[in-house]
Amino acid sequence: MVPERISALSCWKGDIQAEPLSGGLSNEIWKVTDDTGDHVARFGQDYPVHHVDRAREVMSTRAAHAAGFSPAVEHAAPGVMVVAFVAARTWGPEDMRADPARVAKLLRQFHDTMPEHVSGTAYIFWVFHVIRDYARTLTRGNSRFAGELPQYLALSQQLEAAQVPLPIVFAHNDLLPANFLEDDTRLWLIDYEYAGYSTALFDLAGAASNSEMEPDAAQELLSCYFGKTPDHDLIRAFDAMQCASLLREAMWAMVSELHLKAPGVDYVAYANENLEKLEAATARFHALYGKPPT
């Protein structure tokens, strides 16, 4: 039976069928088929604690379609967006690890071409601000992780200090493997909840850390993106940003435990999974570049 809130949408032609799609950590996603073909209906509200604004997400998705990276937006209303269905395979971490040069080329094209298509008020995504704001939310909410927040903030401060000046780009800012789709001819990027102006290093570091790339593959990703072998300071900033990406992902889950209720999602387990990855990445970072003075 098709849920009423799907059948009530005005965009369908003829009879419809609907089946839920898995994979959403903060959204409810359905594949809907009508007389014109297949579509994806994505339900989700604004989440101020995550800096998620659905109107901005719709704008970014439309811009990404115009730039050639995303399926078309077919319908948008408060709390729902319908996009064209793409018959494609969802990537896993192994796909990102297998071809870092392809990922780098896609990200370079994305960063170079998106600004001419985005509109409205410019949104800035700076991961270190996000981490600080998440810490405030977790403190107010008496999170089970509140006792660890001082050490997370101290680490974040160290990682931020390791960054180097880079051009501002319009970035995706949520490069989990599941946000890459591959069909017979191309790669797609989906899910633009966090898209905004940022540094290229956060997308590059997210692609590397979220797929657990080995150092050689991560180095290839970085070199292919910039078209040259990166210097010591850029590599250090990139390694620091990988740690920041994992810390942000863990803290996203901590905040989500307090404020989201996606069916079947264990936010605590997801936080701990990313904290384990963070511990390994931080140990490597400190081994390479030293620990800050205590």
- Same fold across 4-84 and 89-289: no
- Residue burial 267-288, b: 16+ Cβ < 10 Å; e: rest: beebbeebbebbeebbeebeee
| Ordered per-residue pLDDT tens for the chain, 294 residues | 788 999 999 999 999 999 998 766 678 899 999 999 999 999 999 999 999 999 999 999 999 999 999 999 999 999 999 999 999 999 999 999 999 999 999 999 999 999 999 999 999 999 999 999 999 999 999 999 999 999 999 999 999 999 999 999 999 999 999 999 999 999 999 999 999 999 999 999 999 999 999 999 999 999 999 999 999 999 999 999 999 999 999 999 999 999 988 777 899 999 999 999 999 999 999 999 998 766
pLDDT at 248: 98
pLDDT at 27: 80
Q: Are 81 and 58 in contact (CB under 8 A)?
A: yes
Domain boundaries, the chain: 4-84, 89-289
Instruction: Give the C-alpha separation, 261 to 26, whole Å.
Output: 8
Q: Are 2 and 17 in contact (CB under 8 A)?
A: yes
Instruction: Give the C-alpha separation, 66 to 117, whole Å.
Output: 7
pLDDT at 24: 67
pLDDT at 23: 67
Q: What is the dihedral of CA 242, 220, 101, 124, to 10 degrees?
A: 30
Instruction: Give the C-alpha separation, 156 to 151, whole Å.
Output: 9
**List of long-range contacts for 131-135, beta carbons under 8 Å, 24+ apart:** 131/156, 131/244, 131/247, 131/248, 131/251, 132/156, 133/51, 134/248, 134/251, 134/252, 134/254, 134/255, 135/251
pLDDT at 265: 86
Instruction: Give the C-alpha separation, 60 to 196, whole Å.
Output: 8
Which CATH code fits 4-84? 3.30.200.20
pLDDT at 22: 78
Give the architecture (CATH level 2) of 89-289. Alpha-Beta Complex (3.90)
